[in-house]
Amino acid sequence: MCANLAAKSGERVLCNDLDGAPMRRLAERGAVTASSPAELAREATVVFMCLASAQAAQAVADAVLAGWLGLEGGRLLVDMGTTSVAATHAIAARVAAAGHRYVDAPVARMPAAAIEGTLSIMVGGDAEDVAALMPYFCCMGTDITHCGGTGSGQVVKILHNTVLFEAVQALAEAVAVARAHKVEASVLLDAIELGSADSRAARVQGRQALQPRAYEKGRFATRYALKDVSLALELAETAGLDAAMARESASTLQRAVDAGWGDRYYPALYEIIARDGQDAPGD
């Protein structure tokens, strides 16, 4: 995402990460490395962050605000990670109190889409701020949806992911039952793709993970899937709704994490569903 900003935006792009390796790669692509988020913020009027947890987002937001202390107001902080709605509103309030603006813009699609600049971006924030950010979003994605006010991008992204995880669990259950009755996963998926149950989940997670029982590291990890479904359950609880399917997916994902699959691609939940009578795959 940062590499695409550096290549396409026409702006001076600074980067910071706890890991030096991606910063070195970005420097080769034209980005300027910064030693800390605060140093980066002192030079930037727009800061994008993409982090793995609400705690990390809050810490980096505080560092950015420290870098902006005493500078002209009206700067933009954009969260492109998947963060709880409660944390999003809390960060947005601190940013507004400091005289700046905040937009949540989590992303979807596979790692290849991030590399190619074809992400789907779900944006929550004031229309004026979204319009100002649109040229940057178009460097990173091809489908940008303005979902509403602050926090709405996170709501849509969390629910998007939860629907996907529920669909993958349904596919995993179907594959496990088919195999128990001596029907190959490839045959089942062929039929699904030819019928009304066809879906991207069948064609991607089904074909690439469930059929070969391959859950490589480096793709969306089971523990991240559990985090996102947990966020959806928080939203449902706040609304007074019983999200039964999300609860079941969260339970299965938690069992997968407990069984040691936390860092593997999340269709590994199949191994929890099918472990009785199945041979465990090797590393």
Model pLDDT for residues 36-95, shown as the tens digit of each residue: 999 999 999 999 999 999 999 999 999 999 999 999 999 999 999 999 999 999 999 999
User: What CA–CA distance (Å, rounded) separates 195 from 165?
Assistant: 20
User: What CA–CA distance (Å, rounded) separates 261 from 269?
Assistant: 8
Complete domains list, the chain, with CATH = 2-150 (3.40.50.720), 155-274 (1.10.1040.10)
The 3-state DSSP class for residue 86 equals helix
pLDDT, tens digit, 9 for 90 and up, residues 78-101: 999 999 999 999 999 999 999 999
User: What CA–CA distance (Å, rounded) separates 105 from 65?
Assistant: 19
| Residue 150, φ and ψ in degrees, nearest 5 | -55, 130
- Name which of 86, 126, 94 is nearest 105 in CA terms: 126
pLDDT, tens digit, 9 for 90 and up, residues 193-219: 999 999 999 999 999 999 999 999 989
278 pLDDT tier (thresholds 50, 70, 90): low
Please report how the helices 185-194 and 152-180 are oriented relative to each other, as an axis angle in degrees rounded to 10.
Answer: 130
